[in-house]
Amino acid sequence: MGPPGAGKGSQSAKIVEHYVMPSISTGQMFRDAYSNNEPIGIEAMKFIKNGNLVSDDITNKIVALRLSKQDAEDGFLLDGYPRTVAQAIALDKMLDEMGTKLDAVINILSSNDVLFERMEQRRVCRTCGTTYHLRFKAPSVEGVCDKCGGELYQREDDSHESVMNRLMIYETKTKPLLDYYDKKGILFNVNGMQSFDKVYEDVELVLGEF
């Protein structure tokens, strides 16, 4: 968990390199569905582009479907889900039915100044979803993905207005979840305002316990 731009996607990529398991990013699933012209993606993008949340109903459904796939049987990482208390309750129900539970919730902390800068400088590969930063994680060739050669683009919701809205929605809808998981005793805070590797070291300190 963490506000938009905190580094959830970047750390998820590092985590699943080490602990082999699927990384399930609702934002990335919506973006993929949109680029494949799927109705769910087109519907979701109406909300995403302005920085609003997609409905709990649609979001819970795509997560339930994803968790039912075989590769999630031995563990998984959720990135950007849940984002509302209603989603957290729905997730608890899904996990109950699967006979499993969350081991840990990692919350990446960051200041708004850092978040604004990161989202302004973020570029994403249209083909494989790999994320870059124009200064801190620049591609070797401008505009081209190092991994797959795909085209890099700036997300429509990384515009200044959308970012303002996303940060406000984070405060009102998502932040209350921290308390929800803290009460369960599974919330771990990590300082996201450090280098990629240093943040990951701190993440490892948490995950190493399990």
**What amino acid positions are annotated as catalytic residues?**
8, 83, 122, 155, 166
Angstrom distance (rounded) from CA 85 to CA 177: 6
Q: Is 116 in the site for ligand ADP (CB under 6 A)?
A: no
Q: With binding defined as CB under 6 A, does residue 45 bind ligand ADP? A: no
Question: For residue 152, which phi and psi values (nearest 5 degrees)?
Answer: -95, 140
51 binds, among Zn ion, ligand ADP, none (CB under 5 to 8 A by kind): ligand ADP
Interacting span for ligand ADP (CB under 6 A) from 22-30, 68-76, 92-100, 178-186: 22-30
Q: d(Cα 179, Cα 200) in Å, to the nearest integer?
A: 23
What are 78's two structure tokens?
């959720």
Task: Tell me the CB-side half-sphere exposure of residue 105, using CA atoms within 13 A.
Answer: 23
Q: Cβ-closest residue to ligand ADP? A: 27
Q: Which stretch binds Zn ion (CB under 5 A): 15-23, 90-98, 146-154, 190-198?
A: 146-154
Strand 105-109 relative to strand 122-125: parallel, antiparallel, unpaired? unpaired
147 binds Zn ion, rule: CB under 5 A: yes
* Residues 125-156: b if buried by 16+ CB within 10 A, e if exposed: beeebbbbbeeeeebeeeeebeeeebebeebe
Using rule CB under 6 A, residue 152 touches ligand ADP:
no
Amino acid at 27: G
Which are the contacts of 166, defined by CB distance < 8 A and separation ≥ 6?
3, 4, 51, 157
Residue 55 or 127: which CB sits closer to Zn ion? 127
CB of 100: closest distance to ligand ADP in angstroms? 19
8 binds ligand ADP (CB under 6 A): yes
122 interacts with ligand ADP by CB under 6 A:
yes
- Residue 28 vs 127, nearer CB to Zn ion: 127
State the minimum distance, in angstroms, from the CB of residue 115 to ligand ADP: 8
Is-contact 196 7, C-beta < 8 A?
yes
Residue ranges that bind ligand ADP, judged by CB under 6 A: 2, 4-10, 25-28, 30, 47-48, 51-54, 59, 80-83, 87, 118, 121-122, 131-133, 136-137, 157, 166, 195-196, 199
